[in-house]
Structure 1
Amino acid sequence: MSISAFVLIDVTGNHTKSAYKTLQRIQGVKALYAVTGPHDLIAHVEADTIEELNDLILTRIRNVDGVVKTSTAIILNITPSTAAGQTPSGLESSKPPGSTA
């Protein structure tokens, strides 16, 4: 069974678009959202072990150019509709911030 978490990501200056594109390509990042509020991006990540989750966050996500801070919330419970892979209402597929394509 894998470990799932949300990683709240703060990006410096105008690096949000480039960080978004880089983070999308990282293995273990299952979904990525550009958001309003105190954080710039939220990543839904999965790893097989806590050690792999640690490596994913500390080595890969935090080393992306422009990422200045992360905060992680491990998911403890998933509702059946979410577990079945349904996207929450109103959310569309991931596109880089400012992208029209």
Structure 2
Amino acid sequence: MTVQAYILVQTEVGKAAEVAEQIAAISGVLHSEDVTGPYDVIVRAEGPSMDELGNLVVSTIQAVPGITRTLTCPVVKI
């Protein structure tokens, strides 16, 4: 069983498309799309555990140049 989350990403002005493309190439990322609104990119990612998913966000996704802030929203089954 895997854990999934949506990661809402804010970027520097004019960097959304580039950031979305770079994030899409990261292992564990299912979708990465640039959008309009308060966030510039929305990502759906998965990992084998919450710890590993968190590590993916902190050490890999947040390391992409042009990102200014992220908000991770874990998917829950109710």
TM-score past 0.5 threshold: yes
Match of 2:60 in 1: 60
Structure 2 counterpart of 1:52, one-letter code: E
Q: Does residue 1:34 correspond to 2:43, yes or no?
A: no
| Total equivalences in the alignment | 78
Matches within 5 A, 1:1-101: 1-77=1-77
Q: CA RMSD in A?
A: 1.2
Q: 1:17, CA displacement in angstroms?
A: 2.0
- Structure 1 Cα separation of the partners of residues 51 and 38 of structure 2: 28
User: Are the aligned partners of 2:17 and 2:34 in contact in 1 as well (CA < 8 Å)?
Assistant: no
Deviations 1:14-45 (A, max 9, x none): 21122111101000110112112100010000
Q: 1:9, CA displacement in angstroms?
A: 0.3
SS of the residue corresponding to residue 42 of structure 2 reads: strand
Deviations 1:39-94 (A, max 9, x none): 0010000000111111110011100000110001100028xxxxxxxxxxxxxxxx
Gaps of 5+ in 1: 79-101
Larger CA Rg, structure 1 vs 2 = 1
Gaps of 5+ in 2: none
Match of 1:86 in 2: none
- Structure number with higher strand proportion: 2
TM-score normalized by the length of structure 1: 0.73
